[in-house]
């Protein structure tokens, strides 16, 4: 007598499939596959084997709370359905006595997310059985040529999808330092937290059915994730804080990885984690995007423009001492700013604008009502196509705006200088499969001083003026109507004189006499050169103030006045010293000091302004791995650190982490460190993943927050 075919057991072959889909680091016992690539499952039957003439099998794959065939969130397909309406494919691989091996493949445009796999079996004489075979997670596939995130280079795929650690560049263009970061996109539960993040978005909350249907688009996903990394509009991952007051949270400089942040967000019921700044937003977004399968890297732009009024000009205001006026600074030049690039096709744009796209999760300006930025094509930024989606105008201004300096005195504003080369320098990212820094400035802008660079800027300006009225300080005349091509001045690149010297025929420049170190006095000179055939009597007002990395100034802590008489063609230097006792109480976490001088000649209304940003350096943490590292074998790690100051520091805490090396972040309470005292600790861990790994460390105290260190470790699989 004929019987209905009954499923006894389903083997999703998670371990084998995950290896083939490059997801074995995420899990070996849960099925995590990539779209556009087949995976195998085995069906075991109770009573008999599959008989093709007698049994008909239909597979159903569903995602989201309201699966819909029309929207592509529900797929129904069978062995004979490859030419039917569903783009999902099922192939019979092997038919054995009581089992069936099946190959399934999601289309390369399928929505990513968590899926439920079902089966319906119609047998001879009307027997019908239905089963839930199990859940699986579907991700983007940069290994699949038909996927919109396809990346041809295997070394690039390894770096921008698989690598779970890296460096984020900070400091200033004159002192670029790598900050080690644990992305940890394959750590336990991170994939679930990333999917939870999508479900907490406003898009999902308002219309879950449509949101899930659109998750096949990397453009759409990237905008959703970008908005969810900050918490300005929703229950996003991070609260931003640039106030220097972090008593109710974590100083952004103390973080060394994304895993602790994402797990805290999840554990607290999706309450925003306090606090983040640009590099933290970008690092967490990198973790989420790599986890979802979109190639992503972290980018640092030194001297980054924040053009709030959208006129491609950064306006900076100074008083008669050369001090930046905070209360007038709406536009800013960030000492450095960090964002992401994600790799994807852009079928929504004209041909040629796919590839790397700028995504900036730091909440600066709104985009279609939400705090997100991008994706903006890097190629479009370079070519000045600022009208292309999304937020290309704002991204262009970050790397290529002009900088206008104004003197505010006696209730009036006097234009000091228009600098065409200040914004956008040493645009940096980690090199592929290397710890070196890769300078990618040329992918964002043509070379300074070239005709192409100026033509692109003017093209962007024309596009801007075609769509909006002129911004501040442009009402009476167009300041760009006779702007010469950009040029590289003979002046020091990190201490430009901001007033053209052809008026006063005087050049000013700051020069450091020694490397500025945290805890030591700062020695420098102001160099004045008279390039005219006449005598010059100069009055110079000097000042120093700490800066935050976003360009925001703190109160001045040092001032001086100098009177210099210069013979024709004479050069003089004025020595200056800022004592540690003068700046120690005013130093920001970023350890940035701006020194400024505003000069004027007797009986002349003309002014000349020069400034220089000093980054105070400090010794890093040294990490030694004692012996070879093997999976599941104890490993001893020695950490050596010191207090760089000539005074004791308190509340010292050392943190260590590293994906595949530590199950969770390690915190060691150190307490008090004596002046210039060097200390070391030894701890043990048991690596649980093989391959190239990295340990990241941070030392904080009541006087400094971010002394960093790292150590690369190769973990052998052992016997």
Q: Catalytic one among 278, 286, 373, 403?
A: 278
Q: In whole angstroms, what separates CA 696 from the centre of its chain?
A: 18
- The residue whose two tokens read 């024709």 is 568
Q: Catalytic one among 337, 403, 419, 590?
A: 337
Annotated catalytic, 337? yes
Q: Distance between CA 348 and CA 344 in Å, rounded? A: 11
Instruction: Judge contact between 372 and 361, C-beta under 8 A.
Output: yes
Q: Catalytic one among 164, 315, 360, 550?
A: 360
Ligand-binding annotation for 643, yes or no, is: no
Ligand-binding annotation for 402, yes or no, is: yes
Annotated catalytic, 270? no
Q: Distance between CA 697 and CA 208 in Å, rounded? A: 40
Q: Which H/E stretch holds residue 182?
A: strand 175-182
Give the three-state DSSP class for 147: coil
CB neighbours of 331 closer than 8 A, spacing ≥ 6?
Answer: 305, 306, 307, 308, 309, 313, 314, 315, 316
Give the three-state DSSP class for 412: strand
For 188, other C-beta atoms within 10 Å of its C-beta total: 14
The structure tokens listed for 108 are 């390369």
Q: Strands, DSSP E only, in 431-552?
A: 437-439, 506-512, 522-530, 536-547
Residue 327, φ and ψ in degrees, nearest 5? -70, -10
Among residues 633, 617, 615, 616, which one has the least CA distance to residue 625? 633
Among residues 164, 138, 123, 8, which one has the least CA distance to residue 62? 138
Which residues face 661 on adjacent strands? none
Which residues face 537 on adjacent strands? 565
Annotated catalytic, 487? no
For 247, other C-beta atoms within 10 Å of its C-beta total: 6
What is the phi-psi region of residue 668: left when phi exceeds 0, alpha when psi lies from -120 to 50, beta otherwise? beta
Can the peptide bond before residue 375 be classed as cis, meaning omega within 30 degrees of 0?
yes
Sign (positive or negative) of CA dihedral 333, 338, 343, 344: negative
Which residues face 336 on adjacent strands? 302
Ligand-binding annotation for 254, yes or no, is: no
Q: Distance between CA 685 and CA 435 in Å, rounded? A: 24
For 2, other C-beta atoms within 10 Å of its C-beta total: 11
CA 615 vs CA 318, 352, 494, 599: distances in Å: 21, 40, 11, 24
Residue 541, φ and ψ in degrees, nearest 5? -100, 120
Give the three-state DSSP class for 251: coil
Ligand-binding annotation for 135, yes or no, is: no
Q: Which contacts qualify for 95-100: CB closer than 8 Å, 24 or more apart?
A: 95/49, 95/50, 95/52, 96/49, 97/49, 98/44, 98/45, 98/48, 98/49, 99/42, 99/43, 99/44, 99/45, 99/49, 100/42, 100/43, 100/45, 100/49, 100/50
CB neighbours of 583 closer than 8 A, spacing ≥ 6?
Answer: 522, 544, 546, 557, 558, 593
Q: Known binding site for Ca(2+): residues? A: 400, 402, 448, 453
Positions marked catalytic: 278, 337, 360
Q: Known binding site: residues? A: 400, 402, 448, 453
């Amino acid at each position: 007598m004929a019987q209905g075919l009954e499923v006894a057991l389903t083997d999703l072959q998670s371990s084998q499939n995950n290896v083939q889909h490059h997801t074995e680091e995420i899990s070996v016992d849960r099925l995590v596959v990539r779209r556009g690539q087949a995976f195998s499952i085995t069906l075991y039957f109770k009573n008999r084997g599959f008989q093709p003439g007698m049994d008909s099998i239909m597979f159903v794959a569903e995602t989201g709370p309201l699966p819909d065939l029309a929207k592509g969130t529900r797929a129904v397909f069978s062995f004979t359905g490859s030419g039917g309406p569903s783009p999902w494919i099922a192939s019979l691989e092997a038919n054995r006595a009581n089992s069936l091996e099946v190959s399934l493949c999601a289309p390369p445009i399928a929505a990513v997310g968590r899926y439920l796999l079902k089966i319906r079996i119609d047998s001879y004489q009307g027997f019908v059985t239905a089963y839930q075979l199990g859940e699986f997670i579907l991700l983007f596939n940069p290994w699949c040529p038909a996927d919109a995130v396809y990346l041809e280079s295997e070394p690039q795929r390894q770096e921008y999808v698989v690598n779970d650690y890296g460096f984020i560049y900070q400091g200033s263009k004159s002192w670029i330092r790598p900050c080690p970061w644990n992305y940890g996109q394959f750590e336990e539960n991170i994939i679930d937290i990333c999917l939870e993040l999508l479900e907490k978005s406003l898009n999902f909350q308002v219309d879950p059915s449509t949101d899930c249907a659109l998750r096949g688009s990397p453009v759409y996903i990237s905008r959703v994730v970008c908005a969810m990394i900050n918490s300005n509009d929703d229950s996003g991952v991070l609260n931003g804080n640039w106030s220097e007051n972090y008593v109710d949270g974590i100083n952004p400089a103390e973080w060394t990885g994304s895993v602790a942040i994402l797990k805290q967000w999840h554990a607290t019921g999706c309450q925003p984690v306090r606090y983040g700044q640009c590099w933290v937003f970008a690092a967490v977004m990198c973790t989420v995007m790599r986890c979802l399968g979109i190639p992503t890297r972290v980018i640092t732009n030194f001297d980054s423009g924040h053009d709030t009024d959208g006129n491609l000009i950064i306006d900076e205001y100074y008083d008669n001492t050369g001090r930046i006026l905070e209360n007038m600074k709406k536009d800013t030049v960030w000492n450095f700013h960090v964002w992401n690039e994600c790799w994807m096709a852009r079928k929504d744009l004209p041909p040629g604008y796919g590839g790397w796209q700028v995504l900036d999760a730091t909440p600066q300006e709104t985009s279609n009502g939400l705090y997100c930025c991008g994706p903006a094509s890097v190629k479009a930024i370079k070519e000045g196509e600022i009208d292309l989606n999304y937020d290309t105008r704002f991204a262009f201004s970050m790397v290529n705006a002009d900088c206008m300096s104004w003197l505010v005195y006696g209730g009036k504003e006097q234009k000091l200088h228009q600098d065409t080369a200040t914004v956008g320098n040493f645009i940096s990212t980690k090199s592929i499969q290397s710890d070196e820094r890769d300078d990618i400035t040329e992918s964002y802008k043509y070379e300074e001083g070239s005709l192409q660079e100026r033509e692109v800027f003017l093209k962007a300006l024309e596009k801007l003026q075609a769509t909006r009225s002129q911004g501040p300080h442009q009402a009476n005349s167009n300041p760009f109507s006779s702007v010469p091509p950009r040029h590289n001045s003979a002046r020091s690149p990190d201490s430009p004189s901001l007033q053209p010297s052809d008026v006063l025929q005087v050049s000013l420049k700051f020069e450091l006499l020694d490397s500025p170190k945290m805890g030591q006095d700062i020695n420098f000179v102001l160099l004045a050169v008279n390039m005219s055939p006449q005598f010059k009597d100069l009055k110079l007002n000097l000042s120093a103030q700490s800066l935050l990395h976003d360009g925001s100034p703190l109160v001045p802590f040092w001032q001086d006045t100098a009177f210099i008489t210069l013979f024709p063609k004479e050069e003089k230097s004025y020595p200056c010293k800022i004592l540690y006792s003068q700046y120690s109480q005013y130093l920001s976490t970023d350890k940035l000091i701006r020194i400024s001088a505003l000069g004027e000649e007797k009986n002349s209304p003309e002014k000349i302004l020069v400034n220089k940003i000093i980054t105070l350096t400090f010794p890093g943490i040294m990490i030694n791995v004692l012996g070879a590292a093997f999976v599941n074998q104890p490993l001893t790690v020695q950490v050596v650190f010191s207090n760089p100051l000539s005074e004791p520091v308190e509340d010292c805490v050392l943190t260590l982490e590293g994906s595949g090396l530590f199950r969770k972040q390690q915190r060691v309470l150190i307490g008090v460190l004596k002046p210039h005292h060097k200390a070391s600790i030894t701890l043990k861990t048991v690596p649980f993943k093989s391959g190239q790994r990295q340990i990241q460390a941070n030392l904080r105290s009541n006087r400094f927050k971010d002394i960093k260190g790292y150590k690369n470790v190769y973990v052998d699989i052992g016997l």
